[in-house]
Structure 1
Amino acid sequence: MIDATTYCFGNCRFTPARQSLLCGDSPIRLGSRAMDLLHALVRQPGQVVNKSELLKAAWPNLFVDESNLKVNIAALRRALETGGIDVPCIATVPGRGYRFVASLTVERPREAAFPASIREIDGVLPPSKPLVGRAGALAAIVEALQQTRLLTVVGPAGVGKTSIAIAAARAIANGEHQAVCFVDLAAIEKGQFVALAVSRALGIVSNPIDEVEGLIDALRGRNQLLVLDNCEHLLADVAGIADRLNHALHGLNIIATSREPLRCRFETVHRLPPLQCPPEDATLDAGSAMGFSAIELLVRRAEAHGYRLEDADVPSITSLSRRLDGIALAIELAAPQLQANGPAGLLQMLERDFEALSSRGDGMDRHKTLTATLNWSYRLLSENEAWLLRHLSVFGGTFALDDVIDAFGHLAHEEDLTAWLEALAIKSMVSVNYTGRRRRYRLLDTTRTFANKRLIGQGEQQAAMIAYGRFILALFERAEEEWTWRPREDWVALYGGWSADLRRMIDWAYDADGQAELGVRLTVAALPFWVEFSTMAESGARVEKALSALDNLSGDHLLLRMKLVAAHGWNLCYRYPFGDELEATWKRGFELALEAGSVEHCLRTKVGLAMVQTAMGFHQRAFETIADLRRFMASVDDYSAAPNVDRELFTCEFYQGNIRSGHAGLERLAREHATFGNRGQTSRFQIDRFVNFRNHLSWSTWVVGKHRRALEIAEEALNAALTLNHDLSCAHSLAVAATPIALLCGRIDLAQERASMLAERLKTRQIDTWPPFARFHQAAIDAARGEREAVQRLRDAIAAIRECNFLIHLPLRYAMLAHAALSHDQVEVARQSIDEGVDYCRQRGDRWCDAEFLHLRGLVCWRDGDTVSAMRRLQDAIDLGRKSGALGFALRAATSRVKLAKEIGDPAQPLAQLKAISDRCDSSGSLDIVAAHEALRSGPLRRRRRRISAWS
């Protein structure tokens, strides 16, 4: 539409839109530059228009010498004089510019020529629905307007700025008795119409030369509240008008809404955040979920369409609220579809496309879909800001300025990226928060999806993703290097938040043409990350894929293969069954490490080989591997793995029956590593060193008769693992030490607590190593609580453990099964369990439980009525236990021998023997010790047949 505004001075009529200057009825010939200069002057009559503004008006986007301005001003003056103007029109202001000084009137176009958007303005405050979750923000805005006369509500698209501005205006009007005028500027396309739109809204019908001065004159003395809605596209014009009104009218309050501040003098900015969504780890029911404002708004609006929130829907509803970013408009658009599609169905739709959020109601076009709202904001960006927004869509979570520079610094100057990012933040296209005093940015999911579509549409995605992939690679290569020294808490905080981006980039690299090597390198760089976060199932799948992809790449890639094979070895430790492939993988890993000259990976692969050989019960093989490893450490003068090597050595000694020396060695290691800290490389050998040493020490401590201390050591290890929050270490501690030691000590309730903790860990972490152990422990707990059928479950669990070939502590598991069977009068099951356990020990050289098997044979003989053989076997168990240092087993056998002796009438010697053994054990801590003390304190002999129980 043509703006037909005409400026009248002297006998001249100047209509800029038609490039027409008439003096009387005669046209005056002027060049286009002179016309533009005259237009710039008459728009601001009586005011100094500086030279730069005039140059910009006449020569936009060009650099010209100031002499051109002087020449054209002179030509304009001559033309006006020639046309018959006998008074000066243009005055020079030395050093500053020029001023139009002639008397001027303005003829506005007829009202029919105004845009429809202006003609329809009536100033009435629109109706609104009750606000949800905004009580605090509303109170803050109302209170702020007691102290300031110009407040701008700033926030991202659709967050609810208009709704809260209307609510605040209504509250102020009711409380302060102010007249309210509402002006929606969304449809006003040109800044020159802003003042006219406000005049129309206020009902001002005068036609002054200066619209703003006319507003000031009309409003002088009024108690008025002016709401200027949707100002972001007319920022400069709205800011100029608001500033002048605010300065001149002390009875006027202004509430503006905008994506960014107006930047006026004395402006107060209220940033409106999205509605509150539950954190990802929240456990909620329907009642507690409604405490989050995003869910409350979604449910309240959906209730009008027949939806009712139930507990079963809460997980999907919480995910839906996060997917909608707590953006009020998105929630309002989603709510009507909730009943028809269900929360899970609607969430699935929105995961594909936000276009599902289409309004079926009235409203402006740009508010009919979320995409249209975002597009409105996007069009207001400069070309460079839009470019950066599109590229930022590759970030999956929060990021810092340094991350943007590292990712895209090769495409733009650092200073430019800084300025563009800050502009996006100011315009609410990027959210800003502070973490540890560091400024971090994030694209809302809605904005990210929108921007990513534009990235694809511009053909920029491939280059952007390659750049981002290289950034993620550099990030995790740095993480790998820092893993060797940075405290774990700091390391996790720095790199833990990048997991989703890492996964997404690996998947993209394998799917994109020619980027497989990037996928392999990302996988290798991420290896410490997966171990620290105990995501072994994911690591296993990704390592195997990387090894397969590596075979198809040209070149050697020795270092990449070395790291992947070592990681594959560790991953196989968390799958069943253990066997030749596992040993072969470790040996292959060592060969590659030798070839690559990597001492670190030589150590890791050899330690890994020794660990699995021990776990499979091949203690002699483990001794040979340990000897090789010690020679290697001496040859390279690197003893950093020596504590772990010694732990393997002492554990093997213990299992082979050298209980005293094995236990003493483990005790020494524990003393040398008496504290745990937030160290780097917590999981260099998968399990934290402090935790691992104590898990094994707790077993040897129990066997030597220090039951209370064994419980304490197991608890120390578990507490350390929990403090580190390292799932692999926690699971190891619960499966290997905390649960079985509690069982062996007869602390059934504590064992149940620990078993339940392990079960919960295994729900969230796919660690195939431990489920058979967990089933065994639960069956043992149930058997101890009197459940006869649990004995068969113990047998099944042992069969599963043997099938898996992860045989750590298998001899004592057979012994525990035999005790449980005897306690439930299943003598044949006990006999079979003892025989299988003894056969296994003979085959593998596992001798640490020999005394306990002798004790069990004695109990079976006693149950069979052969008291002579029973007494002999029990004495053999006592002697072997005392000789080997297994006083825990000797205590059990001596207690049983006292009970048998009392039954057959010869208790004196057994009582003395039990007293001597008991004095060398802990005074408390287990049912075995309690049973020994009761036997020592028991009264007169009674000849009766008694049920023999492991825990009696």
Structure 2
Amino acid sequence: MAETSSNPGNGRVAFGPFTLSPGERLLARGGVPVDIGGRSLDLLTALVEQPGKVLSKRDLLQRVWPDVVVEDGSLRFHMAALRKILGDGVDGARYVNTQVGVGYAFVATVTHVGDEPAAVPAVIARPAGPPTIGKLPTRMRRVLGRDEDLRFLVDRLDAHPLFTIVGAAGVGKTTLAVEIGHRMLPDFGGRVHFVDLGALEDPALVPSAIANALGIPVQADDAATVVLGHLRHERLLLVIDNCEHLIDAVSGNVERICEAAPDVRILATSREPLRILGEHVHWLGSLGYPENVSGLELEALTAFPAVQLFLERAVAANSSLETDLPAVRQIAEICRRLDGMALPIELTAVRVAMHGMDATLQLLGERFSLGWTGRRTAVARQQTLQATLDWSYDLLPEVERRTLERLSVFLGAFSLEAALEVVADEGIDPASVAAALDELTAKSLVAIDRGRGPNAYRLLEMTRAYAREKLQANDPVAARAAAHRHAAYYLALLEDVLAPDGSLSNGTVRIVGQIGNIRSALATAFEPDGDPALAVRLAAISTPVFFNMSLLGECRGWCARGIAALDEETLGTAWEYELQAALGLALMFTRGNSDAVEASLRRALDIAVSQGDARKQLRLLGRLHIFHERIGDYQTAHDWARMALDVAEALGDPEAIAVASSLSGISFHLSGDQEQARDHLERAVRLARPSERWRTLHYGFDHRNRSIIALARTFWLLGHADRARRLAADAVHEASGLDHPTTYCIALIWALPVYIATGDLTKAAETLEAFEAVAQVNAFAPYMAAVGGLRGNQALQHGNWREALGWIEESLARLRAARYDLLTTSFSTSLTRALMLAGRSGEALELIDATIARCAANGEHIYTPNLLRIKAGIVIAREPDQVPLVEALLDESLELSRQQGARAWELRAALDIARLRAGQGRSADAAALLREVLAGFTEGFDTVDLREADQLLKALGGTVAGSRLDVPSSFATR
């Protein structure tokens, strides 16, 4: 960083033989204009404005290309052009220095044209030792993440009599003030004076401390008058550090100086504003840190100032520290946990350097440590977080102390309303709490972010840990009472924001960011000395929140605890209904389709029936339908669908009819009646309201989206491949925007067969990758088990039967263990084909027979035509003389396809029959059959099956009579 910053703005500056006029956008050499491009000129201007300072690549890209996304290569190209124009490196001239992996700095001497002849050197290295003028403390080697703050204050400080830097303990106020003081030395002719009030306890000595820093001898009793007398006609900068514990005395003295000495400028640091006339407050926030490290690479992570500070301090303390991507991701997570606060980051970095990442993370996870030590040379109040917070805590009046302690029961953001409800009791009235909260906010002990809506307040992690310790130590009874009021408040809040249908459609803004408080409230309610009735109600009413955040595993745990806590008063109530309904759904998608899932869903349905609540019944019928569909009990699923239609018709509501029609349409689709399926699914889509996330959460998945993707599969079977592909793409796109992983997984896994069947293997591969990612991130165990089978099917499409065998066999075993049988038929079909390619035809025949029998037994007739066709191929491959049996199987496949309206299956059967007839010398019959079947298709002519049929039809004219039929080629690819 440069010793001094030169900020030319629109004024002319000179360096070497060049003169730069940013306002005129002109670069001249020896008075002659230089031909330079606009981007190169912008780069030069940005660098010259801050000579000696390393500007990151990101800063330069944002400055020069503010509205365009460009690659680093563009920056390197224009930087190389700029260096060439300047003659950088020619005859020893140096203008731009590269900091590898960081950025660029302008290193030549820069002067304002018309300034004093003495130029200001711009250097990268910092001179050794403190400055001799102004008695400023030694500045830090680098001030990270404060470029905007520095620019803002340096530009404005001279125009205002007083600026106060206000921020929480440990945020870096002093570091910033010292750096500003050093930068402003030239502006004040070296007259920058530093007053450290940290060690001062007597308010009466504030004027003497200022006098001492100014070098003013005070021999009278009234030091303030002496100071004012000396300053009245002076021009200087006074930096007053650590004002908070002497705030009244500092405010009075500073106000007098501002009135009496108009050319004096004061920069103060405090944990609260001075609140005097003419004060400008600069609120200093934490260093930037990544909110979420997932997906960020090393360069992106190390661009955050908090991470840079941590790395700098940790590597300085232990040069052998590993800083690879996994380690830096852990560091970024620590910085997030520390709220980007500079002092805690420095202390934790030293801890990591001494004791390692794992030990430090373990301690952070178990208990936020307030006792870790930092630099020995730091002032005592900054050597540990404990000392830093003791300093602030000891300055608080009693009501503010008690308020701060009780606020520690909040885990995350909270509202003013919540603070009043939780903190106030018979000892502290609400008005006192509100006043105390205002003061604590002003003193930076409570952070506030007005942009968060009503939940604008929060305690930083280190402050919360400190206050919680104080609360437990000073008054355990009050601590327990505050925790119970906290739990009761969040129960009341959730009751208030829930819509009549149990959704969060009307109140999400009030609970945004409240998951931490809801968890804390649940933990309190379920403790041994908690309130069981409150626990049951809170667990039940919080389920929409957990579903809203896709935290199904956590929801499952709280629901199970709530059901275990049911008593005579809560059994059979709406509370039990919500717990059982949520538990069944959460178990189904995270653990599999166990008996416990069915028991919970049936119990919830019984309660809804007993209460005569038709809408609750419809909600549960949808969940029971998908459960029995997933376990392969299609007849029972169809029964639930019929019951849902009865309930919906009784309600007479279009939305209810849409939900029930979706269930019945899917049942018809799986049972093999595609025309009926189409009618019901089109009605479902027509009557359903546009997909909205709150409605999706209410039902557990999006019925409209599920109808669309089921309709896509139905259209493919009906022979409308183009419509099928369009609908599949629409369903996947729409589901991705709902931010609901369950619905998204359903859309993806049902879209896959459409893409595979139509031959779009690239789209199928992309869909599978997306499905796997969502399943893993959300720990959907059944879907994760299905990934292997889908990968095996993908391998089979590319002819890799060896890989396919392993994937599919393992997946089938896992799916059966989870009772997830919805996919077992298609996976068994793929396994049959893999076995045939492996030369294991006996096993293939045994498997296909078992699969046909299972479909006949459970009502999954959708696949029967294709299974019969595949069996025909196995038979003729094993026993070529079994032509009559093969013909019978193919004829049955063809007839059943026509009964189902499944033109896709009909075409495949017709292809194999045509090959068989051609092999028998019956080319005319084969061609006639293909023409008949192809006449029913009006679209999808680019799909695999239709292209194959067209090729075969053309080839039939040259078929040699009597040629034999081998294994149908379609068998190896479909």
TM-score (norm 2): 0.80
- Identify the residue that residue 162 of structure 2 maps to in structure 1: 150
- Identify the residue that residue 832 of structure 2 maps to in structure 1: 818
Partner amino acid, structure 2, of 1:502: I
Partner amino acid, structure 1, of 2:896: L
2:525 to 494, 509, 515: 509
Partner amino acid, structure 2, of 1:471: Y
Cα distance, 1:835 vs. partner?
A: 0.4
Query: How many Å separate the matches in 2 of 1:155 and 1:241?
Result: 21
- Identify the residue that residue 390 of structure 1 maps to in structure 2: 405
Query: In 2, are the aligned partners of 1:486 and 1:679 still within 8 Å (CA)?
Result: no
Cα distance, 1:689 vs. partner?
A: 1.6
- Identify the residue that residue 136 of structure 2 maps to in structure 1: 125
1:193 to 190, 194, 205: 205
Query: How many Å separate the matches in 2 of 1:664 and 1:913?
Result: 29
> Could you list the per-position Cα deviations for residues 457-496 of structure 1 after superposition, in whole angstroms to 9, with x for gaps in the alignment?
2222101111111111122223433665664xx7555434
Query: In 1, are the aligned partners of 2:719 and 2:902 still within 8 Å (CA)?
Result: yes
- Identify the residue that residue 310 of structure 1 maps to in structure 2: 324
2:945 to 918, 928, 937: 928
1:345 to 351, 359, 382: 359
Partner amino acid, structure 1, of 2:161: R
Alignment of 1:829-908 (within 5 A): 829-863=843-877, 864-866=879-881, 867-908=883-924
Query: How many Å separate the matches in 1 of 2:455 and 2:671?
Result: 58
1:937 to 2:962 alignment:
no
Query: How many Å separate the matches in 2 of 1:468 and 1:646?
Result: 44
Cα distance, 1:935 vs. partner?
A: 2.0
Q: For 1:174, what is the secondary structure of its paired residue?
A: coil
Query: In 2, are the aligned partners of 1:690 and 1:717 still within 8 Å (CA)?
Result: no
1:562 to 2:577 alignment:
yes
- Identify the residue that residue 248 of structure 1 maps to in structure 2: 260
Alignment of 1:584-733 (within 5 A): 584-632=599-647, 641-673=656-688, 676-678=690-692, 680-733=694-747
Query: How many Å separate the matches in 2 of 1:465 and 1:134?
Result: 38
Query: How many Å separate the matches in 2 of 1:492 and 1:911?
Result: 63
Query: How many Å separate the matches in 1 of 2:311 and 2:564?
Result: 49
Partner amino acid, structure 2, of 1:907: S
Cα distance, 1:677 vs. partner?
A: 3.7
- Identify the residue that residue 480 of structure 1 maps to in structure 2: 498
- Identify the residue that residue 461 of structure 1 maps to in structure 2: 479
> Could you list the per-position Cα deviations for residues 362-412 of structure 1 after superposition, in whole angstroms to 9, with x for gaps in the alignment?
343222211111111122222222222112212222223233234446665
Q: For 2:233, what is the secondary structure of its paired residue?
A: coil
CA 304–266 in structure 1, closer or farther in 2 if over 3 Å, else same: same
Alignment of 1:131-210 (within 5 A): 131-208=143-220, 210=222
- Identify the residue that residue 265 of structure 1 maps to in structure 2: 277
Query: How many Å separate the matches in 1 of 2:318 and 2:590?
Result: 49
1:217 to 2:233 alignment:
no
- Identify the residue that residue 776 of structure 2 maps to in structure 1: 763
- Identify the residue that residue 18 of structure 1 maps to in structure 2: none
Q: For 1:181, what is the secondary structure of its paired residue?
A: strand
CA 514–535 in structure 1, closer or farther in 2 if over 3 Å, else same: closer
Query: How many Å separate the matches in 1 of 2:777 and 2:501?
Result: 24
Query: In 1, are the aligned partners of 2:584 and 2:600 still within 8 Å (CA)?
Result: yes
Query: How many Å separate the matches in 1 of 2:702 and 2:545?
Result: 15
> Could you list the per-position Cα deviations for residues 534-559 of structure 1 after superposition, in whole angstroms to 9, with x for gaps in the alignment?
322222222112211225x7775733
CA 257–512 in structure 1, closer or farther in 2 if over 3 Å, else same: farther
CA 331–605 in structure 1, closer or farther in 2 if over 3 Å, else same: closer
Query: How many Å separate the matches in 2 of 1:342 and 1:174?
Result: 44
> Could you list the per-position Cα deviations for residues 712-765 of structure 1 after superposition, in whole angstroms to 9, with x for gaps in the alignment?
222222211110110111122222x12232223332222222222121112221
Query: In 2, are the aligned partners of 1:860 and 1:870 still within 8 Å (CA)?
Result: no
User: Which moved further from structure 2: 395-404 or 223-232?
Assistant: 395-404
Partner amino acid, structure 2, of 1:165: A
Query: How many Å separate the matches in 2 of 1:937 and 1:410?
Result: 90
> Could you list the per-position Cα deviations for residues 240-289 of structure 1 after superposition, in whole angstroms to 9, with x for gaps in the alignment?
21111112213312111111111222222111111111112443343332
Partner amino acid, structure 1, of 2:145: G
Partner amino acid, structure 1, of 2:238: L
Query: In 2, are the aligned partners of 1:397 and 1:443 still within 8 Å (CA)?
Result: yes
Query: How many Å separate the matches in 1 of 2:865 and 2:809?
Result: 22
Q: For 2:266, what is the secondary structure of its paired residue?
A: strand
User: Which moved further from structure 2: 403-412 or 715-724?
Assistant: 403-412
Query: How many Å separate the matches in 2 of 1:556 and 1:909?
Result: 70
Cα distance, 1:711 vs. partner?
A: 2.4
Alignment of 1:314-463 (within 5 A): 314-351=328-365, 352-359=367-374, 361-408=376-423, 413-435=429-451, 440-459=456-475, 460-463=478-481
Partner amino acid, structure 2, of 1:126: P
CA 812–886 in structure 1, closer or farther in 2 if over 3 Å, else same: farther
Structure whose CA Rg is larger: 1
Partner amino acid, structure 1, of 2:712: S
2:789 to 740, 751, 776: 776
Partner amino acid, structure 1, of 2:140: K
Partner amino acid, structure 2, of 1:136: E
- Identify the residue that residue 63 of structure 1 maps to in structure 2: none
Aligned pair count reads 826
1:237 to 2:249 alignment:
yes
CA 861–283 in structure 1, closer or farther in 2 if over 3 Å, else same: closer
Partner amino acid, structure 1, of 2:411: G
CA RMSD of aligned residues (A): 2.8
Cα distance, 1:782 vs. partner?
A: 1.0
Query: How many Å separate the matches in 2 of 1:910 and 1:816?
Result: 27
TM-score (norm 1): 0.81
Query: In 2, are the aligned partners of 1:316 and 1:344 still within 8 Å (CA)?
Result: no
Cα distance, 1:446 vs. partner?
A: 0.9
- Identify the residue that residue 227 of structure 1 maps to in structure 2: 239
- Identify the residue that residue 747 of structure 1 maps to in structure 2: 760
Query: How many Å separate the matches in 1 of 2:429 and 2:941?
Result: 71
Alignment gaps of 5+ in structure 1? 1-121
User: Which moved further from structure 2: 604-613 or 316-325?
Assistant: 604-613
Partner amino acid, structure 1, of 2:262: H
CA 825–496 in structure 1, closer or farther in 2 if over 3 Å, else same: farther
Query: In 2, are the aligned partners of 1:302 and 1:336 still within 8 Å (CA)?
Result: yes
Cα distance, 1:324 vs. partner?
A: 2.3
Cα distance, 1:823 vs. partner?
A: 4.9
Query: In 2, are the aligned partners of 1:563 and 1:601 still within 8 Å (CA)?
Result: no
> Could you list the per-position Cα deviations for residues 536-595 of structure 1 after superposition, in whole angstroms to 9, with x for gaps in the alignment?
2222222112211225x7775733223222223323423666465544443333333333
CA 293–698 in structure 1, closer or farther in 2 if over 3 Å, else same: same
> Could you list the per-position Cα deviations for residues 798-817 of structure 1 after superposition, in whole angstroms to 9, with x for gaps in the alignment?
34434433322544443333
Query: How many Å separate the matches in 2 of 1:632 and 1:179?
Result: 85
Query: How many Å separate the matches in 1 of 2:165 and 2:683?
Result: 66
1:523 to 2:544 alignment:
no
Query: How many Å separate the matches in 2 of 1:331 and 1:771?
Result: 38
CA 582–444 in structure 1, closer or farther in 2 if over 3 Å, else same: closer
Query: In 1, are the aligned partners of 2:681 and 2:711 still within 8 Å (CA)?
Result: yes
CA 945–435 in structure 1, closer or farther in 2 if over 3 Å, else same: same
Q: For 1:265, what is the secondary structure of its paired residue?
A: coil
CA 227–655 in structure 1, closer or farther in 2 if over 3 Å, else same: closer
Query: In 2, are the aligned partners of 1:152 and 1:256 still within 8 Å (CA)?
Result: yes
Q: For 1:159, what is the secondary structure of its paired residue?
A: coil
Query: How many Å separate the matches in 1 of 2:396 and 2:942?
Result: 72
CA 153–766 in structure 1, closer or farther in 2 if over 3 Å, else same: same
CA 507–414 in structure 1, closer or farther in 2 if over 3 Å, else same: closer
Query: How many Å separate the matches in 1 of 2:257 and 2:539?
Result: 61
1:495 to 511, 524, 528: 511
Partner amino acid, structure 1, of 2:841: V
